[in-house]
Structure 1
C-alpha cells in the first residue's frame, strides 16, 4: 500500500474524434492507482477538450470533458494529449498550439498517446526532441516535423520532460511507467494486474511482433516461409538457406520479402528469435544459454546483442524485471 502523499494533477487532453482507448486507457490506470492508495487518491485526473464545447464524439460514443482549454486555468503536473484518427486537424488548431506552448513548460512532464504527437509537433514541442507515435504514422510524423527525432518502433519514448507513446494500448504502458516513476514498481504492478495487462513492456520494445508481421505478406511463398521460420527458429535460417527453401535466388528473396513485409529476412528472423526468447524468459526458469540455443542464437552473447538492439535491455535484466 502507498503512504499518503499530495495528489498530482493529471490532464488528459481530448481532441475531436479522439481514439477512445487513448483516453480511457491512461485514465483507468491512474484511477486504479487511486483505488490502491492507502492514504487517499494519488492523482486528480481531468479531461480537457481542445474546443469550446465540452462534449466530444469518440467513435460510437460521446464524452463530456471536465473543462476546455478556454476555461481550464488549474495547475497541471502531468499532461497527455490523446490521439485521433482525424489528426490532420493538428495543423489548424492554432488556439491549442498557443495553449500547449504556454502550459507545457509549466508542467513537470507532458506528452502524447498515439497521434497526439502531431499536436505537439505542430506546436513546436517536438523540435530537437526524441518522440514516437503509432508505427503506421511514424514516417509521416518525421516528414511533417523534421526537427523532431522520430523513433519509429518503440512502445514509448522519454526525452527529459517529454513522454510520447505508440498507438492505443501503448498509452496504458506509458501510464504504468509514470505511476512507477511516482510511486514505485509494486503499485504499478498492482495496477497492471487489475487491468490484466503485461507489466511492463519496456519502452524500447518493438510495437510490431514477428507473429503479427507474418500475417501481412500477400505473396504465398513469403507468408509460408515466415510461418516456417516461426516454427523452426533453432535451425539454420541464413539467407542462403531460406532462399533455397523457397527456390528463389538470394537477391530475389530479399527483394520480394522486403516488398511484402517491409523488412529483410534477417531482420524478421532476429525479431522472431527475440520474441520466442522473451516468452521463455517470462514463463520459465530455462537457463539463458539454453534459451539462446532453443531460439537459434549462436551464443548467449549474440542473444544479448539482439535484445539490446530490439528492446533496450539484456536477457538477464529482462527476466528479472518482467518474468511472471
Structure 2
C-alpha cells in the first residue's frame, strides 16, 4: 500500500549570536517561532526549527547578562540549510572586535537564504557586510543617527519597529525583534496564526505608535555636536516662550542665514524643526511623569493649544497624547 503521509518541510530560522548579545534579541524571536509550531496542526506541511550560530569559532557565546548560550553551529559551518538568517544585536563597542570572517560568512549566506535580517544593532553588522546598500533600514532609536552617519548610502528611518526592503529585514531596539518575528510568521502562515501566537505571548500583533516614542526626538544628548548642544542648552528653559530663529542666531553671534546653514549641517534638521522636537520631548516627559492635563502641557511647552499638541504627536509618534500617557503609566 502506497504511503500517502504528508511530508513536513522544516524551515530553519538561524540567529547569528555575537558576544555580549542581549538575551531578548535572541529569546524573543525564538519564542515566537517555537510557539508557532505549537499551534500548527500535527500534519502541517511546514514547521520551524531554530538554530543558533556563533559569530566566532567558539560555540559558547556569553550574553550581556553573563549567561552562556550554546550554539549548534559557528560561522565555520556552511553545510546546513538556512531559510531565514537574523543577526542579533550587541553593544556597538563589541563590533570593533568582530572577526572579519563574520562578514565573509554573511556575504556567502546572503546568496542562499530566503530572508536575511537584523535585530537592534545587528543592522550595523549587515551594513558592514555590504548587504544594506541603497536600502531603507532601521535600528535601535539611540543609534540610528550613528548608523546614518557611518553608512550614508542607507536610508535610515528610526520610527518603525521593523522595515522590510525586498528580502532584507531590519528591526529596532531589543523587543522589536519580537515585532519582526511576528511579521515573518504572518508572512509565512497568515494573520490568524500570527494573532494566536501574539495572544499566547501576551503581545500586540502590531504594536501601536513608533519606536521614537521611547527616546528623545532630538537624539541622545551625548551624541549631539558641541554646536547643537549649545543651542539645546540655550532653549531648554525657554520652550514655553515664543522663540525665533533670529534669537537663536543672535545668541551665538551669527547671521540668521549662516546660523540656519550651520545648524542644519551640525544637527541634520532646521532650527525650527529642532525646537519643535524639543518641545515634543518635554511634552512627552510631562505626560509620563506628571498628572498635568494635556491642555496645560500644551501651554507650558509652547504649542499654544492641545489641538496643536495632538497633531504633532500623531505626526511624529503615530499616537495621541492621551494614548501615550496610558502606555507610559499603564492606565486604562
Same fold at TM > 0.5: yes
Q: Which residue of 1 aligns with 2:211?
A: 207
Q: Which residue of 2 aligns with 1:287?
A: none
Scaled by the length of structure 2, the TM-score of the pair is 0.66
- Deviation of 1:6 (Å): 2.8
Distance 2:315 2:106 in 1: 35
| Unpaired segments ≥5 residues, structure 1 | 226-238, 275-294, 313-324
Q: Which residue of 2 aligns with 1:141?
A: 147
Distance 2:182 2:248 in 1: 41
Change (3 A) 1:273 1:197: farther
Q: Which residue of 1 aligns with 2:20?
A: 17
1:130 to 129, 136, 146: 136
Distance 2:11 2:76 in 1: 22
Q: Which residue of 1 aligns with 2:107?
A: 101
Aligned partner of residue 28 in structure 2, secondary structure: helix
2:122 to 106, 111, 116: 116
CA displacement, residues 116-141 of structure 1 (integer Å, 9 cap, x when unaligned): 11111111011111111111111111
Between stretches 126-135 and 33-42, larger displacement belongs to 33-42
Distance 2:214 2:78 in 1: 44
Q: Which residue of 1 aligns with 2:48?
A: 43
Change (3 A) 1:206 1:253: farther
Q: Which residue of 1 aligns with 2:191?
A: 185
Equivalent residues in 2 for 1:51-130, closer than 5 Å: 51-59=56-64, 60-89=66-95, 92-130=98-136
Aligned partner of residue 11 in structure 1, secondary structure: strand
Aligned partner of residue 211 in structure 2, secondary structure: coil
Scaled by the length of structure 1, the TM-score of the pair is 0.68
Q: Which residue of 1 aligns with 2:204?
A: 198
- Over the aligned positions, Cα root-mean-square deviation in angstroms equals 4.1
Aligned partner of residue 29 in structure 1, secondary structure: helix
Q: Which residue of 2 aligns with 1:229?
A: none
- Deviation of 1:190 (Å): 1.3
Distance 1:28 1:19 in 2: 15
CA displacement, residues 250-275 of structure 1 (integer Å, 9 cap, x when unaligned): 556999xx9xxx9745446779999x
- Deviation of 1:94 (Å): 1.3
Aligned partner of residue 56 in structure 1, secondary structure: strand
- Aligned pair count reads 263
Report if the CA contact (8 A) 2:161-2:210 is conserved.
yes
Report if the CA contact (8 A) 2:212-2:317 is conserved.
no
